[in-house]
Amino acid sequence: MSITTPLLLLLAIIRTPLFAIIAAGAMLGFYAEEIDLSVIAIEIYRLAEMPVLLAIPLFTFAGYLLGESKASIRLVNLTNSLLGWMPGGLAIVAIVACALFTAFTGASGVTIVALGALLYPALKEAGYRENFNLGLITSSGSLGLLFAPSLPLILYAVVAQQISLDQPLGIDQLFLAGIFPGLLMLFMLSIWSMAQPRNTQARSQFNFPDAWRAIKAAAWEIPLPIFVLGGIYGGFFAVSEAAAVTALYVLIIEVFVLREIPIKKLPTIVRESMMLVGGIMIILGVSLASTNYLIDTEVPTRLFEFIQQHIDDKLTFLILLNIFLLLLGMMLDIFSALVIIVPIILPVAMGYGIHPVHLGIIFLANMQLGYFTPPVGMNLFIASYRFNKPVMTLYKATIPFFFILLIAVLIITYWPALSLALIQ
Amino acid sequence: MSRLIKTIHLFEDTLLVLLLTSMIVLATSQIFMRNFFDSGLVWVDPLLRVMVLWLGLLGATIASRHNKHIHIDLLTRFFNKPVQLATQTIVGLFTAIVSGLIAWHGARWVLMDYQDDIKAFSGLPSWVLEIIIPLAFGLISIRYFLYALHWCSYFFKDSPHCEDPDS
Amino acid sequence: KIATAAPDGTTWMKEMQKGAKNIEAQTQGRVKLKFYPGGVMGNDKSVHRKIRAGQLHGGAFTAGSLAHIYQDIQIYSLPMLFKSFDEVDYVRSKMDMKLKQGMKDKGYVLLGISEGGFARILSNTAVHNLAEIRATKTWVPEGDALVQESFNTLGISPISLPLSDVFTGLQTGLLDTISANPTAVIAFQWHTKVSHLIDVPLIYITGTLAIGKKVFDKISKPDQVIVKKEMGNVFKILDKLNRTDNKKAHQALQNQGIKFVVPDNEEIVLWESLAEKATANLINKGIVSRTMVDEVMQHLQDYRSTVH
Ligand code: NA
Ligand code: NA
């Protein structure tokens, strides 16, 4: 433990695949405890014993298909025709469209690439400042994280279900819990957008024929959110089944009805999307093993006892938790952070009386900030690449958005009812 | 050699597409059966879950073709070329060893289940479902070993390119 | 190192921990029992794999989840086998040892068998008879061939889901009907999602504590005796506690306003005849063995003839 930990950490920051680092840690631990190393494979096999995991490849595939089609254009047209008349209209359009798109495509950077191309020139034309436009699009790229059926929400439920809880924790609970905190973020960003100075005062009028045309154009995609949420809450299907229906529906619509994706391209889309899924699943698998080692050696219990000696109240704990998660979000991508950290902090947080669903929302809200927190927030690099701007420019452009969403994160953290109102 | 590699790639890609398609079909027909006929096949749900494991590990194996696994890069951008070559060689070797160990111990486990004739569901032998673990990690191990060889070979050539082996 | 799905702080865990303390004291620390509660080691299958790999040494299982190791361990769960707790007590006094021996032959030492009570049918729709139950979506525990086959014979086409999905299933309407023992119904909060209970003891449920024989044999003979004796006591206490807990829970369900339905005689006769048929099917399909079923039936007959 003494020499190996810094060695593994060093390896971790020079591009070693994280799964190898986690697996090595787990194997060293099991070896020291004289536990047969085949336990690693047994733990990885538990990936085949979690019914909800099915949702991950299926939603990811559907998201990739949507990203490849022209759904992004229709979505922007639709939101524009419905919301464009409001003060700060186009910016609000951008925020809402990004959130919806991210919820379905799983915050993998697709939003910035697909929607950014449409929204960035449009915002510029509407007279917004350059920095505002860049900041808005970069920070909106992770905005839908708290809305169903986003991948991180599902993954949090999967990981939390592995930990001993007093009450069952369902994905549907997390889906409900994310609604108000997600809306709070949308609302705060919208207010900020309305307050922005613009060069032109042109504001589009609500125009019924235009709106109707946009609705008709998006007629195939509009049922999707209703499908997913209505299907789950109406009791027609479980979350994993909603994912299957979504995948089949999107496949049929984009490939056979709208014919925006040629069949020839499907194998590539399957491969690209499943590489992302594989990257997440292999980390989840080996982290089941490392978590198992931690449980075997009772690390979470001892960690809780240690922390409890130094932190007396829930409030202090929450403040430290926020700082820790922000730092974490800067270093780790959301999926790795989820599978590595949640098993350790969830038992501790529950010891301080934090509801596991609330912790999930806190965790994801913090991680959402991490997507565009310098120096390594993924979306900063994607935006820099997409809009051909230096990363430093994006650092500056995102600062106000960072602070607005930071306030939202703090509200979410210290006001549990916002997350828990719908599930209690 | 490159022909063998191409065949393996094609095999992986085909299996991946087949798995995903049959998952979508199986899962949706299960919903259909349940909602309209109040029935469903018992083996579909456990099979779907095993397919998730296969799909995930296969995706991970394919990701290792291009070293596209999730990683953190804080330091290497500040390194000069020789240091980069050295660190990436170490990264490749380390990942190859770790994956190889998982494959080895996974194979031991699968063999044990084979010898003891352990059953999964509907009378299916467990080892058939579990074999993906040693296979996938074995392939990943080989790929990272090649990755290490690729980086390390630049010490002996004066090629200016530092790219992934497959690109 | 023993894994269990029972959460920390439950009666089950408390009694187990008491027993573990006694064992440690009496063996001067040579035998220590460490529990991993709340299912943190994974589901039953995962626990079995870890026992085989040597990371774990035992686990608490329902009889159904040991069936793939020794099929007759679930013999008490034949549909509508027992009519009263007195019958249960009589048959178990004759058969428990036999089941323990059966598990031992398959490499597991059973430290005890504890009563889980009678599973009854509960539903969120108004069900009064079999015909109405057949029209609902009925849950069976995933992988439980015995319950699955029994329900099939009753003409119910069941939906198999893991335990963890039942609450959500009831909430969303994916399921209407479940069968479970009263304490489980309350522990998993299912009582908040159902409106009717058919007051027919359908299936007698048991749980066990199984230790891998290899590990158990490493303990010295005198220490083995201590472990068996102490755990035997724990299971006696648990059996009693569980029975009162289940009776209390049964009462609590009624107090909650769940409608208790008592089918008329004609309906009961129908259920019993189908249950008999189900038992025959279970034997034919090799889910339980004929010799063990015959033996249980013989004991029941003996008991019934002495009482009446
Ligand atoms: Na775990
Ligand atoms: Na990040």
Q: pLDDT (tens digit, 9 = 90+) per residue, C195-250?
A: 999 999 999 999 899 999 888 999 999 999 999 999 999 998 988 888 998 899 99
CA of A238 vs chain C CAs: smallest distance (Å):
8
Mean per-residue pLDDT pooled into runs of 10, chain A (424 residues) = 79 87 92 90 90 84 85 81 76 86 72 79 82 91 86 86 70 89 94 80 71 83 77 70 88 90 92 89 88 80 80 88 85 79 87 92 92 78 82 90 95 94 83
CA of C213 vs chain B CAs: smallest distance (Å):
16
Residues 6+ apart with CB under 8 A from C286: C71
Q: What is the DSSP letter of A228?
A: I
Cβ–Cβ gap A235/C55 under 8 Å? no
User: Which of A12, A277, A333 minimises the CB distance to B55?
Assistant: A277
Give the pLDDT of residue A201.
55
Residue C203's alpha-carbon distances to C137, C147, C230, C275, C287, in angstroms, are 19, 9, 29, 10, 16
CA distance A413 to A408: 9
Q: Is the pLDDT of residue B167 over 50?
A: no
DSSP sequence for B20-59: HHHHHHHHHHHHHHHHHHS---TTHHHHHHHHHHHHHHHH
Give the pLDDT of residue B94.
96
Taking the domains of chain A in order of start, what are their residue ranges?
52-420
Residue A292's alpha-carbon distances to A295, A328, A340, B8, in angstroms, are 5, 22, 11, 34
CA distance A388 to A386: 6
Burial class for B97, CB neighbours closer than 10 Å (0-12, 13-18, 19+):
middle
Cβ–Cβ gap C157/B38 under 8 Å? yes
CA A29 to chain centre: 31
With the CA atoms of C70, C76, C81 and C87 taken in that order, what torsion angle do they form, in degrees rounded to the nearest 10?
Answer: 150
C10–chain A Cβ distance below 8 A for any pair? no
C252–chain B Cβ distance below 8 A for any pair? no
CA distance B36 to B29: 10
Burial class for A2, CB neighbours closer than 10 Å (0-12, 13-18, 19+):
exposed
CA distance C35 to C56: 10
Q: Which residue has the higher pLDDT, B69 or B59?
A: B59
Cβ–Cβ gap B59/A237 under 8 Å? no
β pairing state of B71-73 and C177-180: unpaired
- Segment B137-153 shows an average pLDDT of 92
Ligand closest to Cα of A347 equals: 1
Q: How far is the CA of B47 from the centre of ligand 1 (A)?
A: 22
Cβ–Cβ gap A162/C40 under 8 Å? yes
Percent of chain C at pLDDT > 70 equals: 99
pTM of the predicted model, to two decimals? 0.81
Write out pLDDT tens, residues B29-62. Answer: 888 877 676 666 667 888 999 999 999 999 999 9
Write out pLDDT tens, residues C16-57. Answer: 899 999 999 999 989 999 888 877 787 788 888 898 888 899
Give the pLDDT of residue B117.
80
Q: Which residues of A touch B63 (CB under 8 A)?
A: 275, 278-279
Give the helix ranges, DSSP H, for chain B: 2-37, 44-63, 81-115, 126-130, 132-153
CA distance C274 to C258: 26
Which residues fall inside 5 Å of ion ligand 2, going by CB? A 370
Cβ–Cβ gap B24/A40 under 8 Å? no
Q: How far is the CA of C45 from the centre of ligand 1 (A)?
A: 15
CA distance A233 to A319: 34
CA of B42 vs chain C CAs: smallest distance (Å):
7
Amino acid identity for residue A181 in this structure: P
Give the pLDDT of residue A240.
77
CA of A36 vs chain C CAs: smallest distance (Å):
6
Q: How far is the CA of A286 from the centre of ligand 1 (A)?
A: 10
Amino acid identity for residue A73 in this structure: I
Q: What is the DSSP letter of B165?
A: T
Q: Shortest CA distance to C69 belongs to which of C172, C211, C193?
A: C211
Yes or no: say if C150 and C203 are a contact pair by the CB < 8 Å rule: yes
Give the pLDDT of residue A206.
75
Q: How far is the CA of A331 from the centre of ligand 2 (A)?
A: 6
Looking up tokens 């995102």 gives A398
Q: Which residues of C touch B116 (CB under 8 A)?
A: 52
